[in-house]
Chain A
Amino acid sequence: MIEAKSLSRHFGSLQAVDKLSFQVEPGTVLGFLGPNGAGKSTTMKMLTGFLAPSSGTATIMGHDICDDGLAARKEMGYLPEGAPLYGELSVGRFLRFAAEARGFRGAEAVRRVADAVERLNLEEVFGQSIETLSKGFKRRVGLAQAILHDPPVLILDEPTDGLDPNQKQQVRRLIREMSPGKIIIVSTHILEEVDALCSRAMIIARGRLLADDSPTGLLRSSRYYNAVTVVLDDLEQAASRLGELPEAREVEVRRGRLTVFPSAQGNLFEAVTTVVKQAGWQVEQIQLEPGRLDEVFRSVTGQEAA
């Protein structure tokens, strides 16, 4: 388990992380979500022992990061932002170093390296120097380094940043494969990633925790949650007719799309489809909105800015 207790860090007068408290149970993929400069990386740097907190602390699997940092670090695998690596070393030599630093020696170190290489499909570049690799391979080397001791806690700072869509997909698949029984904390500013990857998401801005929920829970707080969007020929008439429904709270026409927002009563989708059928409009599209993360994100972090 990870437990952060009013974790804080300031740089001069800038409060980067402000009394952050949370708990994470094994089996959770937690997404740190927030605008750039929100304090996501600083929080991760404190959890992994790179930065000392200005106040507060955290425990990693029972080890305090301040009093027993070495034991805490042993429980973690960490991919720092941008996946920095020793470019002049070969993949094999670098992973060997990581394995030895994790306390593996001799045959065990060889086995751990081989295992990580296999899991991340690094066989073909094993002897190549890291600086000659593509971004996707570099990221995988960074991940291999983080998982080779099979840690109960993985902390990945923007693991898919700067990758192409295929590589992103690949890294996400890897994270999902590793997730059972582990605590994985992923930071990102890509919203789709939260949906694709995380079982829980925390929205952080200006160092403060603004929302902490499952992705579905966050979607539920979107004003688009369960709204119905239609594209049809006679938008104006449809807007007035649908706006009168008791199930509808308000309607909005934007860029040729009509969105009806639900009131607290009844089933809006059914009501809308019934009206649409009766009126005999030419319908191009009708869609039940699952909620929009970007809208939740903007409203949560925007309130903070105001």
Chain B
Amino acid sequence: MNNLPVVLKRELSSYFATPVAYVFIVIFLLMSATFTFYLGGFYEREIADLEPFFRFHPWLYLFLVPAIGMRLWAEERKSGTVELLLTLPITASEAVLGKFLAAWLFVGLALFLTFPIWITVNILGNPDNGVIAAAYLGSWLMAGGFLAISACLSAATRNQVIAFILAVVVCFLFLLSGLPMVLELFRGWLPQAIVDAIANLSFLLHFNSISRGVVDLRDLLYFALVIGFWLLANRIVLELKKAD
């Protein structure tokens, strides 16, 4: 894994060499603020917490994270640089992980830049900062899950638009599986164990439990497994499709 930081650094310098990074960060900040204040009723609730802020993160990520992830491999395959990258003494694992981590750190930076809202809520009242810290962690982990899915699907095609749409659809399924209305559909005719299993696959369920301030090992493990699974799939898809 000597070359993992080399790949990571190159990726990050590409983000900031183009407007991608700046556009993403500005849009992310604007939209998360809009959701928090208009849809979430941050002031009207008169409760000193960031629930209205975090509540919309899954839906924000649903579109913004695939937008970051879609270029990871599709762009390399389209421009042919994947051939350059993988014929350097860099292993496929280093490349997959390095790219993923760069994108994840980048999303983390965007998330970090929302800190003024944390300061604001502390000025306005006395929130439970432990819960907020946990919610930030949960949000970042969830972004990692979305990102791993997007990265894998990006390796499946050389067309970024297709990569984006596929990633949104799959991410949507992972979100949806925890919604009560979806679970109600199954509850009538499937055994409870299977319904629970479907619910357990959901990003929402695990994110909500972390963002309530309960950092349960099982929730952390869930996101670690989701990320691990999709990155492994990414490696396999890359191996199969890189030369097409």
| Partner-B contacts on A (CB < 8 A) | 45, 48-51, 70, 73-74, 76, 78, 80-82, 84-90, 93, 97-98, 100-103, 129, 145
CA distance A78 to B88 in the complex (A): 8
Q: Is B180 an interface residue (CB 8 A)?
A: no
Q: How far is the CB of A159 from chain B (nearest CB, A)?
A: 14
Q: Is B13 an interface residue (CB 8 A)?
A: yes
CA distance A73 to B79 in the complex (A): 21
* With known contacts A51-B243, A80-B80, A103–B89 Cβ distance under 8 A: yes
Q: How far is the CB of B244 from chain A (nearest CB, A)?
A: 9
CA distance A48 to B81 in the complex (A): 14
- Taking CB as reference atom, which chain B residue is nearest A155? B87
Q: How far is the CB of B176 from chain A (nearest CB, A)?
A: 35
In the bound complex, residues from chain A placing their C-beta under 8 Å from that of B87 are: 48-50, 73, 76, 78, 80
In the bound complex, residues from chain B placing their C-beta under 8 Å from that of A51 are: 243
In the bound complex, residues from chain B placing their C-beta under 8 Å from that of A73 are: 87-89
Q: How far is the CB of A130 from chain B (nearest CB, A)?
A: 10
CB pair A50 B86 closer than 8 Å: yes
CB pair B84 A97 closer than 8 Å: no
In the bound complex, residues from chain B placing their C-beta under 8 Å from that of A129 are: 17
In the bound complex, residues from chain B placing their C-beta under 8 Å from that of A82 are: 80
In the bound complex, residues from chain A placing their C-beta under 8 Å from that of B86 are: 49-50
CA distance A88 to B15 in the complex (A): 9
Interface positions, chain B 97-135, Cβ under 8 Å from A, are none
Can you offer 21 A-B residue contacts whose CB atoms are under 8 A?
A45-B243, A49-B87, A51-B243, A70-B91, A80-B83, A80-B84, A81-B80, A84-B84, A85-B84, A86-B10, A86-B14, A86-B81, A89-B14, A90-B17, A97-B9, A100-B9, A101-B6, A101-B88, A102-B89, A103-B89, A129-B17
Q: How far is the CB of B77 from chain A (nearest CB, A)?
A: 10
- Taking CB as reference atom, which chain A residue is nearest B13? A93
Interface positions, chain B 58-95, Cβ under 8 Å from A, are 79-81, 83-84, 86-91
Q: How far is the CB of B151 from chain A (nearest CB, A)?
A: 18
* With known contacts A45-B243, A50-B242, A70-B89, A89–B17 Cβ distance under 8 A: yes
In the bound complex, residues from chain A placing their C-beta under 8 Å from that of B83 are: 45, 50, 80, 84
In the bound complex, residues from chain B placing their C-beta under 8 Å from that of A97 are: 6, 9-10, 13
Q: How far is the CB of B21 from chain A (nearest CB, A)?
A: 11
Q: Is B3 an interface residue (CB 8 A)?
A: yes
- Taking CB as reference atom, which chain B residue is nearest A52? B239
Top-9 shortest CB links A-B: A84-B80, A101-B88, A80-B83, A88-B17, A48-B87, A100-B6, A97-B10, A84-B81, A73-B89
CB pair A88 B14 closer than 8 Å: yes
Q: How far is the CB of A263 from chain B (nearest CB, A)?
A: 51
In the bound complex, residues from chain A placing their C-beta under 8 Å from that of B2 are: 103
CA distance A88 to B14 in the complex (A): 6
Interface positions, chain B 30-81, Cβ under 8 Å from A, are 79-81
Q: How far is the CB of B9 from chain A (nearest CB, A)?
A: 7
Interface centre among A50, A70, A80, A101 (most CB of B within 10 A): A101
In the bound complex, residues from chain A placing their C-beta under 8 Å from that of B84 are: 78, 80, 84-85, 145
Q: How far is the CB of A250 from chain B (nearest CB, A)?
A: 48
CA distance A89 to B85 in the complex (A): 14
Q: How far is the CB of B99 from chain A (nearest CB, A)?
A: 13
Q: How far is the CB of B13 from chain A (nearest CB, A)?
A: 6
Q: How far is the CB of B87 from chain A (nearest CB, A)?
A: 4
CA distance A85 to B3 in the complex (A): 19
In the bound complex, residues from chain B placing their C-beta under 8 Å from that of A45 are: 83, 243
CB pair B13 A89 closer than 8 Å: yes
CA distance A102 to B79 in the complex (A): 22
CA distance A60 to B113 in the complex (A): 49
CA distance A6 to B4 in the complex (A): 34
CA distance A133 to B125 in the complex (A): 56
CA distance A87 to B71 in the complex (A): 14
